[in-house]
Amino acid sequence: MARRKKIYEGKAKILYEGPEPGTFVQYFKDDATAFNAEKKATIDGKGVLNNRLSEFFMKGLTQIGIPNHFLKRLNMREQLIRQVEIIPLEVIVRNFAAGSMSTRLGLSEGTALPRPIVEFCLKDDKLGDPLVSEEHIIAFGWASQQDLDDMVALALRVNDFMSGVMLAVGIKLVDFKIEIGRVWDNDFQRLIVADEISPDSCRLWDVETGQKLDKDVFRRDLGSLTDAYTEVARRLGVLPSNVTHATKPTLIN
């Protein structure tokens, strides 16, 4: 078989040239990074779970008419996606204070926000993905005013969908991040949701216990990340039949 052309290797995923022009194959790695890649580890089974979970969320978005890059899952670790021109911004939606917002504004984690708050960070690892304002985005030409309005509308729709889906399985959607890209249909440009939606890019807390079921488990050394992601997948009914992660025997003293 001919070797595939690698387009880009990031911290969590690899993009390969797809079978048709305008498509990519997105491969989900087991690598986890936090704090701008200062903390790194390989976590058995994470890629398999995120491939399934991102498929599940993107398909749900499609069902309610929110455009996104997902075309088809290919295997345990890969999905076929539509190639987009990524807008160099992380779009964050917050329902409750946590993480950098809590630090910045001195709000205790879990404080309910008066309404969902949309933030933008510039995608630039060297600068540590700094928070930027709409003024910056327009002035530096990262997106137009129309793009910005569309991005906020898209992000809030994703928030409503994700909040509902998660609440139905007893999980609170505290916040999440998405990436958005441009596609052209003939002469018309549209914005669609790209990258991934998974517990790597969301904060998910158990409604009853407050237990964290997202990447904070890795960032803050709170236990097994695979167990947390497996729990999310189990509740949503999307566990792959043969997860590569197997519980290792534990020595009892």
Ligand X SMILES: Nc1ncnc2c1ncn2[C@@H]1O[C@H](COP(=O)(O)OP(=O)(O)OP(=O)(O)O)[C@@H](O)[C@H]1O
What is the contact surface with ligand X in residues (CB under 6 A)?
8, 10-13, 15, 24, 69, 81-84, 86, 123, 125, 179, 181, 194-195
- If the CB atoms of residues 8 and 188 are measured against ligand X, the closer one turns out to be 8
Minimum Å gap between C-beta 91 and ligand X is 12
Which residue's CB is nearer to ligand X, number 43 or number 97?
A: 43
User: Cβ 69 to ligand X, closest distance in Å?
Assistant: 4
Task: Please give the angle made by the CA atoms of 168, 157 and 141, to the nearest 5 degrees.
Answer: 145
CB of 154 to ligand X, least distance (A): 14
Residue nearest to ligand X (CB): 10
CA–chain centroid gap for 199, Å, is 7
Between 24 and 205, name the residue whose CB sits nearer to ligand X: 24
Q: How far is CA 52 from CA 72, 117, 123, 175, in A?
A: 11, 28, 25, 20
**Closest to ligand X by CB, 33 or 211:** 33
Query: C-beta of 13: minimal distance to ligand X in Å?
Result: 4
Q: How far apart are CA 241 and CA 210, in angstroms?
A: 28
The pair phi, psi for residue 56, each rounded to 5°, is -60, -50
Among 76, 77, 34, 58, CA closest to 179: 58
Work out how close the CB of 65 gets to ligand X at its nearest, in angstroms, rounded to a whole number: 19
Cβ 170 to ligand X, closest distance in Å? Answer: 28
For β-strands 70-73 and 78-82, DSSP reports them as: antiparallel
Judged by beta carbon, residue 45 or residue 205, the one nearer ligand X is 45
DSSP annotation of 152:
H
31 vs 134 by CB, closer to ligand X:
31
Segments in the chain forming alpha helices (H)? 46-63, 99-105, 134-139, 145-167, 216-219, 225-236
